[in-house]
Structure 1
Amino acid sequence: MPQLGDDPILAAGAFVQAVQRIVSRTVDPQSALVVSLTQIHGGNVGNIVPGKVWLQGTCRFFEPGLSDHCERLIGEIAQGIAAAHSLKASLDYRKGYPPLINTADATAHAVEAAASAVGRENVLTEFSPSLGCEDFAFMIREASGCYAWIGAGEVGSGEGLHGDRYVFNDEIVPTVMRYYVNLVEQTIPLAGPSTAVFPA
């Protein structure tokens, strides 16, 4: 007797489709924005329409103002879809990590340290920004910094850093150590030889 109830799964499907208009029709196409629905939960019985459906997702962007833009439109779309299906919707929009933007001075130090470790020809500084999420962004906001990637070699599909089949390449450890030693030596110059004294 489907005519006697309302269907949040049907509404959730409509919402998943509709929310994509935020990227395709409300933001300049040259502005980086990703809106992804990453979880849908609803129901646990094969022949009963559930009483509610819960969705979760993420918004990624470089322009901080797009956070408020996404929050407003996601809320409007959720309310509109819910009303069209005789349902109610609520939004819990949490502002997480800000965009990570390296500072020039720290980046110059990182590039010099990397060049000393692997040669300048192996240091890449020009590439497309990533829409990955990183809590180091909070540190850079408080003090200058540079978030750098150190290549670990080619891996297969599903075997990357966050893949379930990832295996760390131990052979890069000496290169990483050279990089960090170079970075420390150029940013904290040593006054000269020192002697460590350990009490007996």
Structure 2
Amino acid sequence: MYEEILDVAEELFMVQGYRATSTRQITEKLGVTQPTLYYHFKKKEDIYYHVMLRLSATVEAQLRIIANDEALPAEKKILHMALFLQQKHPFNLFVMMHDIQHSLSKEMSQKLYRLWTTSYKTPFIELLEQAEFHLKSEIDPTFAVSQLFILIAAYLETPNRQSDLAKSVQVFLYGVMATEIKEQRE
């Protein structure tokens, strides 16, 4: 029953957000009573945390597999990682981050932010820090990844827009100016 609760809760939280999802909705969709739910989880916040914990473990494992794929050049790794997030997370990251910041206790918000940073952001940061990536010296990898997540978030709710996400990652990595024009100005 524990995993079934998490499956249903994940679906509801990711579509509706934390605040709009009630424990009653979870129990109704499962066809169980509130006491059954509370036997496994003391409160809704605990359910959300365990949903995010399970999801984060899956995400981190896959992002690290892609990041460590020696057959892919660094640029393709970033693209494949972004595409994985688009396929695994067809929901709004901004809603999730808003929920974490405004709908949960301060302690839970901090736990979830650390979890998100470790499992979602750190694989990207570590990739940008690798010598093969040739990041500009004035660009901080953590800042760059934050900007990349803003870009990726725009495409998470629309998984059929893979080519748009791919073009956006190209713009993120290489800018919009042609190399010849930039060199002429210098």
Q: State the TM-score, normalized to the length of structure 2.
A: 0.27
Q: Which structure's residues are more often strand, by fraction?
A: 1
**Structure with more of its chain in helix, by fraction:** 2
Query: Which has the larger Rg?
Result: 1
Higher relative contact order (CA 8 A, sep 6+): 2
Q: How does the TM-score come out when normalised to structure 1?
A: 0.25
